[in-house]
Structure 1
C-alpha cells in the first residue's frame, strides 16, 4: 500500500477557514471538529501557515462559548418555561403534560 501524501498547506488553511465560517451557521460541533483535527496537525507539521493554529484556537473558543451558553440556557428554560406563559409554549418543541 502506497504512503498517503501530505495535504498541501494551502488546502489545510482553506479547509480550516471553511469549517470556521460554517460554524457561524449555528453549527458549533464543526468548530469542535475543526479544533480536534487541526490542533494535532499543527503540532506534527511545521510547514503550515500560523493562521491555521489561530483558527484552531478560535474554533475551540467558539465551541466553548456555545457550551457555556447552552449550559446556562437549558436549566433556565426547563425551570422557568411554565412561568413564561404563551412564550414558553411557543419556544417549546413539546409541552409536557401537567405543566
Structure 2
C-alpha cells in the first residue's frame, strides 16, 4: 500500500483502525501503525489531520512498549520457573521438551534421598563452582596479549 497516493482523510481512518485493532490483543497492529505512519505524522508538512495522526502514532508506540515489557517479563519468569511449576507449566506449554518430565522426577527422587544440609555447613558458592582458575588464566592471557599490562 502506498500512503503517498492516499488522501489524508483515508490515512487518518486507516491509522485509527490499526490503533483500535491493537486493543483486540493484537500489539503487532500497533507496530505496523508506528512504522507506517511515523513519517506522515512527524516529518511531513503540517496538514489538518496530522495532529490526530500524531496522537494515534504516539499512543500506538506506548501500547507497543507496554506489550513488549509485559511479554518479556512473562517469558523471562516462565523460562526461569518452568521446571519448578511441574504440571501447571506443562499445561501452559505448547511444546514440552523431550525428557523434561523424566529429569524432574529424577531430581525429586534425588532430593528425597539426600538429607538436608546441616545449618552449620557453609553455603555453596555458585560463582566459584562455575568459574575455575583455568578461566582466570585465559582472561589473564587475553589481557596480557591485548596490551593492558604495559
- TM-score, normalising length from structure 2? 0.58
Query: Unaligned regions of 5+ residues in structure 1, if any?
Result: none
Deviation at 1:6, TM superposition (A): 4.1
Moved over 4 A (4+): none
Q: Which residue of 2 aligns with 1:34?
A: 33
Deviation at 1:5, TM superposition (A): 6.4
Q: Alignment partner of 2:6: what SS? A: coil
Number of matched residues? 96
* 1:17-96 to 2 correspondences below 5 Å: 17-42=16-41, 43-49=43-49, 50-96=51-97
CA 1:71–1:31 in structure 2 vs 1: closer, same or farther (change >3 Å)?
A: same
Structure ID, larger Rg: 2
Deviation at 1:85, TM superposition (A): 2.4
CA 1:41–1:23 in structure 2 vs 1: closer, same or farther (change >3 Å)?
A: same
Cα distance per residue 1:17-47 (max 9 Å; x no partner):
1001111222212101101111111221411
CA distance in 2 between counterparts of 1:5 and 1:65 reads: 30
CA distance in 2 between counterparts of 1:45 and 1:8 reads: 14
- Give me the CA root mean square deviation: 1.8
Cα distance per residue 1:36-94 (max 9 Å; x no partner):
11111122141142111000000111111111111111111111112222221111001
* 1:7-18 to 2 correspondences below 5 Å: 7-18=6-17
- TM-score, normalising length from structure 1? 0.85
CA distance in 2 between counterparts of 1:48 and 1:35 reads: 19
